[in-house]
Structure 1
């Protein structure tokens, strides 16, 4: 019998603190930085984002999202035999955020690890979990994206600090004899590492380099629109499907203009694109599972729909997953 991996439950979590563009304008003005709601919306489509409170970490948000996903799937923690956390903002240098999450969920014994592919992290995590389930290494996995990007932002740089938010999204991925994940496609090109990075590290008890996010927005945009089309077409080809088979495009929620460009190239109307960037900003590895859970719970995305998930992020990394829900 052929073994497949299928999403059986979704969950997400956003911190209670919601900051509108007006809130960000006021915060930046206090530091002598000028911006406006119109400037932010025109360039990004973002109107609000959520920031965590002091003392809240990626694992805390991930735990909330996982509990909702397990509840939706009807799965108990003792049934989970794999946990993968995609994050660029781990709780600590080590152990992995996945290990901390495992303990918070009351699970023990199963393998756990983090995946670091920035905004493509959830796509990478799904790809790895799919492979492990197909080979029989796991039967029921939690794949999570969780980020606390608010702690990496330079609030003197209006071109980046207004873009990002915090949150977590999770799915339960289960072994099935019915196809779920149809095909995956992941890539990276490290020569572009400098266009989106946090160039700092810890050494001798001190932070060396610059621990705040740096981005060349134009370079990222130009690269993103090309690779997202390529990976979308690659995953469709692998699955023997076409653009006409896509019920919903659920892209990484970075910038509405990138999302619109991808939809146009795939000949998809925007009413087939799940959009949450307006209310959540860019939540990096959390953005795709957050958008997926939002769409499922809103009744947009339904069981049996064919979904194209795709993301692009620092590294430079990119990839896509085609699946039947």
Structure 2
């Protein structure tokens, strides 16, 4: 029952309200009285940051049932006339339920999740930013974003797979941050992941920010079968990065 949720996290970098967040709105709408609620933001890594926090809350037995709402409304802040990056952005949202218990034989299991702050590399604080009062959502240094994203998404995918005793060949599907197809193809080439294993929605929806990779998983959930191994790897402005390994038992 939705009323049994004891942790709600709203993950986004485009909130319409930073006080009454979407998490608090959902708590009120569904009368989820016993939940801790907060908002987390780390650009396009926000969704995986939230999953890592949920994992930590479960491990420390602070919570047992969590709701993650991940959404970005880039259209509020983007400028379609911006010839550098105005054409890239899209809007999207997902909601996921996490539990310390399984409710069916097909429940995906989080094997591992990790994130990292990368504010110390490259043009981190200048490459992509959102200033609501001035010029909105901008990416003036897309080349630096491309280089860093390709580097960290590939390395983090390799690391999380191998640390958990698998090889890249064991992956059934790879889901990268939906920034652009050039990045996804570059990462897949570095890791020798066949094109048919790479799931995307960028060509349909654009860069939907922190929810992009999670939205791809939701859209393809019917393709996933027992025994499948899925890796999500993301990169965000600021900079930030993260990866998540999922197994279908």
> Which of residues 28, 37, 43 in structure 2 aligns to 1:103?
28
Aligned to 2:147: 222
Deviation for aligned residue 1:159 = 2.5
Inter-partner Cα distance in structure 2 for 1:308 and 1:212: 28
Q: Does 1:182 align with 2:111?
A: yes
Aligned pairs for 1:146-295 within 5 A: 146-176=71-101, 180-191=109-120, 192-200=124-132, 207=133, 209-295=134-220
Aligned to 1:116: 41
Inter-partner Cα distance in structure 2 for 1:170 and 1:324: 19
Query: Deviations along 1:87-109, whole A, 9 cap, x unmatched?
Result: 01112131333212222333222
CA contact (8 A) 2:153 2:176 kept: no
Deviation for aligned residue 1:179 = 8.8
Query: Deviations along 1:37-74, whole A, 9 cap, x unmatched?
Result: xxxxxxxxxxxxxxxxxxxxxxxxxxxxxxxxxxxxxx
Q: Does 1:318 align with 2:227?
A: no
The alignment yields a C-alpha RMSD, in angstroms, of: 1.8
Structure in which a larger fraction of residues adopt helix: 1
Inter-partner Cα distance in structure 2 for 1:104 and 1:157: 37
Aligned to 1:73: none
Decide whether aligned partners of structure 1 residues 300 and 94 sit closer, same or farther in structure 2, where only a CA change above 3 A counts: same
Runs ≥4 in structure 1, deviation > 4 angstroms? none
Aligned pairs for 1:4-153 within 5 A: 76-153=1-78
Aligned to 1:42: none
Inter-partner Cα distance in structure 2 for 1:179 and 1:241: 17
Decide whether aligned partners of structure 1 residues 175 and 92 sit closer, same or farther in structure 2, where only a CA change above 3 A counts: same
CA contact (8 A) 2:4 2:34 kept: no
Query: Deviations along 1:4-24, whole A, 9 cap, x unmatched?
Result: xxxxxxxxxxxxxxxxxxxxx
Task: Tell me the TM-score normalized by structure 2.
Answer: 0.90
Task: Tell me the TM-score normalized by structure 1.
Answer: 0.70
The count of residues paired between Structure 1 and Structure 2 equals 241
Inter-partner Cα distance in structure 1 for 2:201 and 2:108: 27
Q: Which runs of 5+ in 2 are unaligned?
A: none
Structure 2 residue matching 1:322: 3-state secondary structure = strand
Deviation for aligned residue 1:300 = 1.7
Structure 1 residue matching 2:44: 3-state secondary structure = helix
CA contact (8 A) 1:97 1:113 kept: no
Deviation for aligned residue 1:158 = 2.3
Aligned to 1:306: 229
CA contact (8 A) 2:84 2:139 kept: no
CA contact (8 A) 2:44 2:234 kept: yes
CA contact (8 A) 1:169 1:288 kept: no
Structure 1 residue matching 2:45: 3-state secondary structure = helix
